Structure 1
Amino acid sequence: MTDYGQQLRFGLSLDPSVEQAPRTGRLARAAADGGLEYLAVQDHPYQPGYLETWTLISHLAARTDRISFLSDVADLQLRPPTMLAKAAASLNALTGGRITLGVGGGAFADAIAGMGGVRRSGGEMVAYTEEALQILRRALAGGPVVFPGRQHQIEGYTAGPVPTAPTPIWLGSQRRRMLEVTGRHSDGWISPLNIYVPPDEVPQRQRIIDDAARSAGRDPGEVRRIYNVIGAIGEYRGGQGLVGPAGLWIDTLTRWSVELGFDTFVFWPMTAHEQQLDVFAGTVVPAVRQAVDEIRGRR
């Protein structure tokens, strides 16, 4: 059993489709009103029907005043770390600290190359990502940034602005080498969807992150653990992921928190998004918070 003791947080994944933009705006406001902590936006700029992630986040941030935003996850191969840090820091300063920078190495090499990026895979992609995280960390802290790496050569510039609230860096990862990078350099692990990394495969990945964190002199408990959960709440059939009544969701998310170590759950509703959000925020989230508090209290 693994429980890192982090405060529970909950979020909603927003569809970046331009056709769904009006609904996305309604969902963003409803999630904020419902007490969720995060709005998450995926980053696939090579999809012609998708809005650009930072443009959409900026648009929605101007229409909300409390909820935070998560890039889930920004493609490092198409976004140089110096400019990505500049964008995240700028938006964090403008929103009063409501930006969390989720990043990934880039899962679709052909699509990345199609947009002019370099086609990287395997060890080269891991090395590129690890160096990018180090540059992001330095750039977000402000001041001089110099990085003579193998994958990135930063000759020197003065980074800024530096927001009052730090900008967390969370890494999306799945395989061993990238999980080790997560433990060494990131503030949080963003797990792929529960249909791609099912619960029974999570403990092994958590151990890899923990071992890497300790080897780097870090406390594994400081690394947040984020699960993207696709599914539907209610009597649905044939859906993917976690599907079932609210009670099943409450029991499952509670178990995934206190036994698997997740502290943040991002809900990806499969259908009836606005109705699903109402049930998630109004019924599931408060019950999970209470159940986890009670279990931790007994321990």
Structure 2
Amino acid sequence: MTDYGHDLRFGTFLTPDADHADQVVALARLTEQVGLELVTVQDHPYQARFLDTWTLLSVIAARTETLRVAPNVANLPLRQPVVLGRSAASLDILSGGRVELGLGAGGFAEAITSIGGPTLSAAERVTGLAEAIEIIRGIWAPEGGRVRVDGSRYRVPGARSGPAPAHDIGIWLGAYKPRMLRMTGRLADGWLPSSAYAAPEALSAMNATIDEAAVAAGRAPEEITRLYNLMGSFGRDDGTFLHGPASVWAEQLAELTLTEGMSTYILASDSPEDIRRFAAEVVPAVRELVAAERGLRRAASDERQAGGAAHDAGGGPGPHRGDAAAGDAPSGDERERTTAPVRVASTSFAVTPTPDDGVRYSDHAAWDESTRPSGPDPDPDRRYTAHEQAAGRHLVDVHDHLRQELAQVRDLVEQVAAGTLDAGSARSHINTMTMRQNNWTLGVYCETYCRVVTTHHTIEDVSLFPHLRKADPRLAPVLDRLKEEHHVIHEVLEGLDRALVAFVADPTNGMKGLRAGVDLLTDTLLSHLSYEERELVEPLARLGFT
């Protein structure tokens, strides 16, 4: 099992159909609106019905704000390395550092030759790719140097370097066969296969070839990002890869991250519905499943290290410490944090609930916080293992994701106020967020967590609140109050949506209501998350899930 620990990223793989050019650009903009991070486009210049890849990527970059763009993958025999390097660097500068470079040795040899490209053997194409990488990296070096490569395929006797890109552009290789895989390990920043050509069961051996080559070249295997183009369909689960409901997609992709190290998933689809479903249902679930398992592994590692340290010191088993996991309030709001009481048993408990800073933006209160019940006081003599504390840590991690989303909501509203984003786009983005999917409440948080922890149990077998209520009846008032607050937050979100609609009808007068809506959401959500952590982080460690 290999998890390289890379951050998860998600994107789309679009067809550059010239007959539907506006739709292609619209799909790219949709990719950004639903919160995905990357748009890629295939590169087949011999296809008369396709838009030119670099021209299309330039337009997409100009019409988006945060989206990264990349060819998937650039057809090297038809893209001269010096010109390709400068094209990528130029677009990276113009887009503010949002370009990556997918590279291929060049498939479809006859098609390449048919439009005047070179006639090359497979071996010559692979050799040329290695030479091209050296040339392109030389072009990206600070200006003033010289690029000199005397290769069998490319000879550059003294090109001046420059322009340097705005950021370190990653070179991702579309590789399948051993020689290309070894080159990926030696020279590339990423590996970019497609599921249609590299099935999940083939990834382990291919990754091993990359890793061995990386180590032989003095590199760490984790330096290489593992990307994956996804071909699948939503619908009935037929037992094959990515053919089923979103929950099946999420479980299969999370497993690939945790066992094969794949971390950037690129959906090959030109369907707006598929892109929205991927972003709204698959992506959040994959993130939660991977975060849960990584949390367990960190906890187990911490526990082993703590045990080893105690053994080396000649002492018996003492309190175990994990990494602190305090959440942060949205930095954009500059809410000053204060020290508040937290309901944990002792210094052996390393998971820190996020305190409520007491800052309120709205004149309206969604509930009376003074009536909130509290659970039983923790046992001050109880000690918790890192494994027991992993559940509470994951709760804080999930809440931190929601806090980040809240900061995004506030930013979206400010963009609407400034006139740089229309209200419809803001609504579309907000509606794809985790907080709008009814899957962030603690009950379903537990379902995704337990799907990893207790692999023999299905989602239907898991119900956290009833378990906690049965395991410790003293928690019943807290659990009842939390459920009530979940319903209130749902209503506040609905109110914000109505405010966005009202703003469209009357922008002048609607902005006041829109700001009031986001202020109320900020107060209620941050207050609720802090309350839930305060009351449940310790019971989760003490009572577990079963």
Residue number in structure 1 paired with 2:251: 251
C-alpha displacement at 1:162, in angstroms? 1.1
1:147-195 deviation line (CA, Å, top 9, x unaligned): 112221101121211123111111111000011111111100011x212
Corresponding residue SS for 1:259: helix
| Corresponding position: 1:206 with 2:204 | no
- Matched-pair contact (CA < 8 Å) for 1:86–1:159: no
CA contact (8 A) 2:139 2:163 kept: no
Verify the 8 A CA contact 2:237 2:248 in the aligned structure 1. Answer: no
SS of the equivalent of 1:40 reads: strand
TM-score, structure 1 as length reference: 0.95
Identity %: 42
> What's the CA shift string for 1:72-121, capped at 9, x where partnerless?
00011111111100000000000001000000000111011112111212
For structure 2, the 5+ residue unaligned runs are 298-546
Say if 2:148 is the partner of 1:146: yes
Which deviations, in whole Å up to 9, do the C-alpha atoms of 1:186-205 show, x marking residues without a partner?
100011x2121111111110
> Residues 20-45 of structure 1, C-alpha deviation per residue, up to 9 Å, x if partnerless?
22221221111101111100100011
Question: Per-residue displacement from partner, 1:185-233 (whole Å, max 9, x unpaired)?
Answer: 1100011x21211111111100110011111111110100111111122
- Counterpart of 2:232? 231
Of 287, 290, 297, the residue aligned with 1:289 is 287
| In 1, Cα distance between equivalents of 2:217 and 2:164 | 26
In 2, Cα distance between the equivalents of 1:49 and 1:260? 36
Residue in structure 2 matched with residue 60 of structure 1 by the alignment: 60
Equivalent pairs counted in the alignment come to: 294
The aligned residue for residue 7 of structure 1 is 7
Q: Which residue of 2 aligns with 1:96?
A: 96
CA contact (8 A) 1:226 1:266 kept: yes
Q: Please tell me the residue identity of whatever aligns with 2:152.
A: R
Matches within 5 A, 1:1-299: 1-142=1-142, 143-191=145-193, 193-235=194-236, 242-269=242-269, 273-299=271-297
SS state at 1:155 partner: strand
Distance in structure 1 (CA, Å) of the matches to 2:25 and 2:79: 25
CA distance in 1, matches of 2:125, 2:28: 33
CA distance in 1, matches of 2:149, 2:196: 38
Q: How many Å separate the matches in 1 of 2:138 and 2:205?
A: 30
State the shift of 1:141 in Å: 2.0
User: Structure 1 unaligned runs (5+)?
Assistant: none
Determine if contact 1:92/1:99 at 8 Å carries over to the other structure.
yes
* Whole-angstrom distance in 2 between the partners of 1:151 and 1:16: 29
Read off the aligned partner of 1:205 and give its amino acid letter. Answer: M
Which structure exhibits the higher relative contact order, with contacts defined as CA atoms closer than 8 Å and separated by 6 or more residues? Answer: 1
Letter in 1 for 2:216: S
Amino acid at match of 2:156: I
Q: CA–CA distance in 1 between the matches of 2:35 and 2:141?
A: 30
1:225–1:263 CA contact under 8 A, matched in 2: yes
In structure 2, distance between residues paired with 1:20 and 1:233: 24
1:241 shift after superposition:
5.7
- Structure showing greater Rg: 2
Contact 1:195 1:241 in 2 (8 A): no
Cα distance in structure 2, aligned partners of 1:233 and 1:70: 26
Segments of 4+ moved more than 3 angstroms = none
Q: Is the 8 A contact 2:138 2:147 kept in 1?
A: yes
Asked if the contact 1:103–1:169 (Cα under 8 Å) also holds between the matched residues in 2, the reply is: yes
Q: Answer yes or no: is the 8 Å Cα contact 1:44–1:50 preserved in 2.
A: yes
Conserved in 2, the CA contact under 8 Å of 1:39 and 1:68?
A: yes
User: Which amino acid in the other structure matches residue 219 of structure 2?
Assistant: R
Give the Cα–Cα distance (whole angstroms) in 1 for the partners of residues 106 and 237 of structure 2.
33
Contact 1:229/1:241 (<8 A) preserved: no
The structure whose residues are more often strand, as a share, is 1
The verdict on how the C-alpha distance between 1:103 and 1:296 changes in structure 2, with shifts beyond 3 A counting, is: same
Secondary structure of the residue that 2:192 maps to in structure 1? strand
Q: Helix, strand or coil: the match of 1:255? A: helix
- SS for the counterpart of 2:266 is strand
Distance, in Å, in 2 between the alignment partners of 1:36 and 1:285 is: 9
Q: Over the residues paired in the alignment, what is the CA RMSD in angstroms? A: 1.4
Residue 236 of structure 1, CA deviation: 8.5
